[in-house]
Amino acid sequence: MAARNDWIDGVAKFALAVVFGFLVSTAPAAFAQAKDPLIGTWILDLGNSSFVPDNPPQKRAILITAKDDAVRFVFRTTASGGLDNGMVSESEFTAKYDGKDNEISESILDTVSLKKVDANTIERSGKIRGAVVETSTMKLSPDRKTLTITTKGSVGGNAYSSVQVYNKQ
C-alpha cells in the first residue's frame, strides 16, 4: 500500500510541475498582450481625418487582436465614389513588433513590418517587391482612446498621404 501511495504522490507532483511550468512559460506573453493598448476595435472618425488625394472611404474599422505572441490587424473598409462605391474590402496581417516583414492580404502592399517606438507609438513599413513604399506612424492619445495613423507613400509614381483618426469602441 505504501508503494502505491508513493506512486500516486509522485504522479501528483509531476502533474503539478507540468501545470506550473506551462503557466510560468505562457503567462508573460499573455500578460504582455493583455496590456497592449492597441488591442480592440477602432472606428475611423472621418470628420477629423484627412486624405491626399481627397478620396476617403465611407467607413473603416480596424480590429486588433492578440494572436500567439503577435498582434493581428484586420482593416474593414467601405469604399466611396466611383465604381467601387459601397464595396467592402478587408485586408489583414499578423506581426510582432520586431521589424520583420509579414505578408498582408488584399492590399497593394506585399509585406508590412511593425516596430514599437514607445508605449504609445508604433511604426509600420509597407513594401512592394522588397522596397519600402509606405510608412505609417500609429500614435495613441495619452488616455489611449484615440489612435492617429499618419501615412505617407508612393506607388507607381502616385504619392498619397493621410492622417486617420480612430476612436476606440
Q: Supply 118's cell numbers.
A: 514607445
Spacing of C-alpha 65 from chain mean position: 7
This prediction's pTM? 0.79
d(C-alpha 33, C-alpha 52), whole Å? 34
Q: In what helix (H) or strand (E) does residue 3 lie, and over which residues does it extend?
A: helix 2-35
Please report, in tens digits, the pLDDT of each residue of the chain (169 residues total): 565 556 556 545 554 444 444 444 444 444 444 589 999 999 999 999 999 999 999 999 999 999 999 999 999 999 998 778 889 999 999 999 999 999 999 999 999 999 999 999 999 999 999 999 999 999 999 999 999 999 999 999 999 999 999 999 9
d(C-alpha 61, C-alpha 90), whole Å? 10
What is the model's pLDDT at position 107?
96
Given its phi and psi angles, is residue 8 left (phi above 0), alpha (psi -120 to 50 degrees) or beta? alpha
d(C-alpha 148, C-alpha 46), whole Å? 12
d(C-alpha 166, C-alpha 44), whole Å? 4
